[in-house]
Amino acid sequence: MRWIPGRHTVTGVVSMGEGIVGREYGPVRYEVGREKISEFASAIGETNLVFYSKDAAASSGYEEQIAPFTFPTVVTNILDELVRKDPDLEIDWEKVVDGEEEIVYYHHICAGDLLEATTRITGFETKGGLLFLRLDTDLVNIRDRARNLLCTVKATLIARVGDA
């Protein structure tokens, strides 16, 4: 759970965006626990038992208790904290709202997975008094020494800039 400073060194006066796109935060490691999956499932009103017990999941053909679709947000919220602490971004985080979110799965997440996640800035542009900050986060399962990409989360955050 440690921020590895970006490779990009900011020298002298830089305009917004320069040296920002491509910047990376993390990796953070996150072990997916049964009770955390259940807690998250309950918080979104889930009633399907495959999200609450290994036995129920097994009777539906899954090896393990599975995580709800938006569970990756638990991990991206940890990484967002690192992004917010980056002084080079010069963003008033109180003015930031969610613009768009996309989650693409390659394999589902389940209890016992050991995730390694890295966020990178893929967009940083101002349009009409609004700043659009795009963040991509890859969640890789590093359990059993394999490195399998489970999903990618793409978020667009929107901030009012200046006096707008």
Residues near another protein (CB under 8 A): 36, 39-40, 42-46, 48, 50-51, 60-62, 66, 68-70, 73-74, 77-78, 94, 97-108
User: Least Å distance between CB 67 and another protein?
Assistant: 10
Instruction: Give yes or no for a contact between 131 and 91, defined as CB atoms under 8 angstroms apart.
Output: yes
102 or 144: CB nearest another protein: 102
CB 53 within 8 A of CB 65: yes
Sign for the CA dihedral angle at 18, 140, 113, 3 comes to negative
Cα–Cα distance for residue pair 55/98, rounded to 1 Å? 36
CB of 83 to another protein, least distance (A): 14
Tell me whether residue 42 or residue 126 sits nearer to another protein (CB atom): 42
Is 17 or 99 the residue whose CB approaches another protein more closely?
A: 99
The amino acid at residue 110 is C
Amino acid present at 51: F
Q: Is the CB of 11 or the CB of 47 nearer to another protein? A: 47
Among candidate residues 122, 138, 128, the one with its CA nearest the CA of residue 160: 128
Taking the complex as a whole, the smallest distance from the CB of residue 130 to another protein amounts, in Å, to: 14
How near is the Cβ of 128 to another protein at its closest, in Å? 17
**Cα dihedral angle (26, 29, 33, 36), rounded to 10 degrees?**
-20
